[in-house]
Amino acid sequence: MLLEVKDIDSGYGFLQVLWKVSLQVDEGEYVCLIGPNGAGKSTTLKTIIGLLAPIQGEIFFKGKPIGRLSADTICQLGISYISEETNLFTAMTVRENLTMGAFTVRDKTKRKENLDFVFELFPRLRERHNQLAGTMSGGERKMLAIGRGMMSAPTLLLVDEPSLGLAPQVTADVFRALDALRNRGMTLLLVEQNVTKTLKVTDRGYILEKGKIVLADRSQSLSQNEHVRKVFLGI
Amino acid sequence: MIDARPERSILNHFADGARSAAGITILATAALLVAATIDKGPYIIVNTIVTGGMWALMSMGLALVFGVMNIPHFAVGEFFMTGGLLAFFAVTPFNDFLSRHPQPFVSAISPLIAIFAAALGGYLLGVLSEYIIFRPLRKRSREQWVMNTFLLTLGISVFMINGHQLVFGTEFKGIVNYWNYPSLSIFGVYISFDRVFVFTFAVIVMAALGVFMKFARMGQAIRAVSQDETGALMVGIRLNKIHALTMGLSCGLGALAGACLLFMFPSYPTVGIGPLYNAWFVVIVVGLGNVAGTVVGGFIVALFQILTTVYIGEGYGFVVPSILIIIILIFKPSGIFGSPVRGVLDR
């Protein structure tokens, strides 16, 4: 088991959002976490990556507890987080953003390899390597954010709502990129609102409602599930 | 993808630049400088350049801490004072020794050693202040952060002023000049070697800082933190390390300016207040948190101050720049180069 989240309670200050959330991700899996707005999906990812400290419970990565570590340490252990709002360095160029993504990689040749890999994955970024991140379109920013996350060659990629605010065509591009990563053996934990599409591409899924996991199953079974069909697919 | 914008000539860019707030201010300042030089002679240019470079260095430090850590640093003037003090105590033993055993090589490099020692001392004091003052506060609460840190830096300032007075007394601790070399003649004006050195040194330090921020791993990390703190955490940058480095750099630059200008500003408890105001004038003129803009801003503020002193009188040295600041804050609160801070008329 690569990632194990065990009974975590988490939230912002006095506002508790998550109640005993547990989930697991195995090596090479493509897992999704879906749920309505405000269910606590982003909070779950932020707690895993260490931007929020869990009130209770523990998180294990490769068997080691990481629940009390800070985000920069967790990043060095091999988890990358692509946030909803991308958190790019807007006044830096595309190339500088990618270089910062490899901040924890000390080996120069390794950095170069990662950069080539990202440029191969997103040729658009290579074309625009000298452009400021803040002047790029929404889709390009998402790609840059994913590329920056890939620069540290992580073992686990947490992706928060990659389709948020994107045109359907661009969303398809982003999903294609995630598929490509998955085919290269990357482990992914995806948070999405686009339930139909997400359940089609992922292996397993968790349904989060009001801060609690209400369902966990293979994605295919989830898309047949009565509750899911009623709440998310509107059938 | 095809770039839809039509080709633009350099002239077009220049015309656009000249029409912007920054362009107007720079052109107006340059015109003023030329007019004053024709009227009163070239020493106005010399003084503007010598002090402007140092104000630019100090305000670079201010802009850095504000941009990266959101701290309005009001104790930078006291680091200026400390820098002067450290340089004074470092250079005096050398001078005593040299008056007994003249050695041209030692007398050439001893001021450099003193200045570097002062800058290093300022850096270490800055790091120390981050560790014992700002970090505990950051851990406790980030509410009202700007106001709290503003009050804290004022406290540091009062503490350092009185500490200086308590330990070293109120008398002036200064030197006549660092180097006893004959004045250099530039365009028929005699300028002391110290002044030439101070300007050259300021340019070198600014360029080095620019290269550091653009290309060095840590410099890039500093910029990353100032642009997106969460993003910086996500890529594995240790914020604590960057905060300490930034505070150290900022205080080190203040101390460096104080050490370089020791022959103009002897160190005494409240010597830092004037330079502090100047550095803040610069930061407000160019826009809070704008590091590159301070290079130009330093010279603009220095020129205004010198012109005021020459034409209106010594006592008005701070009045005219203050009026300038008030006008800028009313009409262009984001500064002439613009910064994310927006004002009422800035829609």
- Band the pLDDT of B1: cuts 50, 70, 90: very low
Residue A203 counted as domain residue = yes
- Note whether B223 contacts A92, CB cutoff 8 Å: yes
CB atoms within 10 A of CB B150: 15
In angstroms, the CA B230 to CA A62 distance is 24
CA dist A214 and A228 (Å) reads 10
Higher confidence at residue B307 or residue B82? Answer: B82
Burial class (CB in 10 A: 0-12, 13-18, 19+), B229: middle
Mean pLDDT, chain B, whole residue set: 86
Whether B163 has a pLDDT exceeding 90, the answer reads yes
pLDDT in tens, chain A (235 residues): 899 999 999 999 889 999 999 999 999 999 999 988 888 999 999 999 999 999 999 999 999 999 999 999 999 999 999 998 889 999 899 999 999 999 999 899 999 999 999 999 899 899 999 999 989 988 899 999 999 999 999 999 999 998 888 888 888 888 988 999 998 889 999 998 888 889 999 999 999 999 999 999 999 998 888 888 888 777 6
Instruction: Find the domain containing A228 and state its range.
Output: 1-69+157-162+189-235
| Residue B2 burial class via C-beta count within 10 angstroms: exposed 0-12, middle 13-18, buried 19 and up | exposed
Task: Report the residue of A89, A111, A130 to disrupt the B interface, i.e. the one with the largest count of B CBs within 10 Å.
Answer: A89
In angstroms, the CA A189 to CA A30 distance is 6
For A178-208, b/e burial (b = at least 16 CB within 10 A) is beebbeeebbbbbbbebbebbbebbbbbbbb
Residue-wise pLDDT tens digits, B224-274: 999 999 999 999 999 999 999 999 999 999 999 999 999 989 999 999 998
Minimal Cβ distance to A51: which of B224, B228, B233: B233
Q: Is residue B54 part of a domain?
A: yes
**For residues A26 and A24, what is the distance between their CA atoms, to the nearest angstrom?**
7
Q: Do B223 and A89 touch (CB under 8 A)?
A: yes
| Min Cα separation A75/chain B (Å) | 5
Of A76, A89, A127, the CB nearest to B231: A89
In B, minimum Cα distance to A85 occurs at B231
Inside any domain, residue B327: yes
**A107–B contact, CB cutoff 8 A:** no
Residue B299 lies in a domain: yes
What is the per-residue pLDDT for B8? Answer: 55
Q: CA torsion A116→A119→A120→A126, rounded to 10°?
A: -120
A103 vs B: CB within 8 A: yes
Neighbour-count burial for A5-20, b at 16+ CB within 10 Å, e otherwise: bbebbbbeeeeebbbe
**Structural domain count of chain A:** 1
Domain holding B117, by residue range, is: 20-331
Q: What is the pLDDT of residue A130?
A: 93
pLDDT value, residue B12: 65
- Residue spans of alpha helices (H) in chain A: 41-49, 71-77, 94-101, 108-121, 123-127, 138-150, 168-183, 195-201, 219-224, 226-231
Residue B124, in any domain of the structure: yes
pLDDT score recorded for residue B221: 95
- Give me the pLDDT at residue B4, please: 45
Interface of A with B in 68-97 (CB under 8 A): 70-73, 75-76, 80-81, 83, 86-92, 96
| Residue in chain A nearest B225 by alpha carbon | A89
What gap in Å lies between CA B79 and CA B123, rounded to an integer? 9
Q: Which of B220, B236, B239 sits opposite A152 (nearest CB)?
A: B236
| Tokens of residue B234, six digits | 């996500």
Kindly state the helix (H) or strand (E) to which residue B78 belongs, with its residue range. Answer: helix B76-100
With CA atoms as reference, the chain B residue closest to A148 would be B235
List b or e across A35-65, with b for residues whose CB sees 16 or more CB atoms inside 10 angstroms: beeebbbbbbbbbbbbbbebeebebbbeeee
Q: How far is B239 from chain A (nearest CA, A)?
A: 8
> Could you tell me whether strands A3-12 and A56-61 are parallel, antiparallel, or unpaired per DSSP bridges?
antiparallel
Residues of B in contact with A51 (CB under 8 A): 230, 233-234
CB A23 within 8 A of CB A206: yes
**B343 falls within a domain:** no
In DSSP terms, which residues pair with B223 in a beta bridge? none
Per the DSSP assignment, residues forming a β-bridge with A23 are A5
Strands A156-160, A187-192: pairing kind: parallel
Query: Nearest CA to CA, how far is B183 from chain A (Å)?
Result: 44
In the DSSP assignment, the letter for residue A50 is T
Task: Give the SS3 label for residue B156.
Answer: helix
**Are A10 and A45 spatial neighbours (Cβ–Cβ below 8 Å)?**
no
Q: Is residue A10 part of a domain?
A: yes
Q: Which residue has the higher pLDDT, B111 or B292?
A: B111
Q: What is the pLDDT of residue B9?
A: 60
Residue among A83, A91, A127 whose CB faces B234 most closely: A83
Does B235 contact A148 at a Cβ distance shorter than 8 Å? Answer: yes
In a domain? residue A97: no
Q: pLDDT tens digits for B19-57? A: 677 777 788 888 888 888 888 777 788 888 888 888 899
Q: With contact defined as beta carbons under 8 Å apart, do B67 and B226 qualify? A: yes
DSSP 8-state assignment for residue B173 = B
Query: CA–CA separation, A179 vs A158, rounded Å?
Result: 14
pLDDT, tens digit, 9 for 90 and up, residues B5-20: 445 565 666 666 666 7
- Rounded to whole angstroms, the Cα distance separating B56 from B253 reads 10
pLDDT in tens, A129-162: 999 998 998 889 999 999 999 999 999 999 999 8
The pLDDT value recorded for residue B135 is 94
Predicted complex ipTM: 0.90
Compute the count of residue pairs across chains A and B with CB atoms less than 8 Å apart: 66
What is the rounded CA–CA span in Å between residue B131 and residue B140? 14
Does residue A62 belong to any structural domain of this protein?
yes
**Minimal Cβ distance to A75: which of B227, B234, B239:** B234
Contact assignment for A100 to B238 by CB distance below 8 Å: no
| Closest Cα in chain A to B219 | A100
Contact criterion met (CB < 8 Å) for A92 and B227: yes
Residue B345 within a domain: no
Residues of B in contact with A70 (CB under 8 A): 233
What is the CATH classification number for the domain harbouring A19? Answer: 3.40.50.300
- Bridge-partner residues for A21, per DSSP? A8
Residue A92: inside a domain: no
B233 → closest Cβ in A72, A90, A152:
A72
Query: Within a domain: residue A25?
Result: yes
Residue numbers in A near B220 (CB within 8 A): 92, 96, 99-100
- Which residues in B lie closer than 8 A to residue A92 (C-beta atoms)? 220, 223-224, 227
What does the pLDDT read at residue B338? 67
User: Tokens 């929404």 appear where?
Assistant: A138
| Lowest pLDDT segment from A148-152, B85-89, B139-143 | B139-143
- Reply yes or no on whether the pLDDT at B212 is more than 70: yes
Report the candidate in B202, B240, B236, B254 with the shortest Cα–Cα distance to residue B49.
Answer: B202
How many structural domains comprise chain B?
1
Q: What is the CATH number of the domain that holds B36?
A: 1.10.3470
CA-based angle B319:B42:B255, to the nearest 5?
Answer: 55
Q: Is A21 helix (H, G, I), strand (E, B) or coil?
A: strand
Q: What is the pLDDT of residue B340?
A: 52
User: pLDDT band for position B114 (50/70/90)?
Assistant: very high
Q: Supply the pLDDT for residue B343.
A: 39
Residue with tokens 């927006």: B342
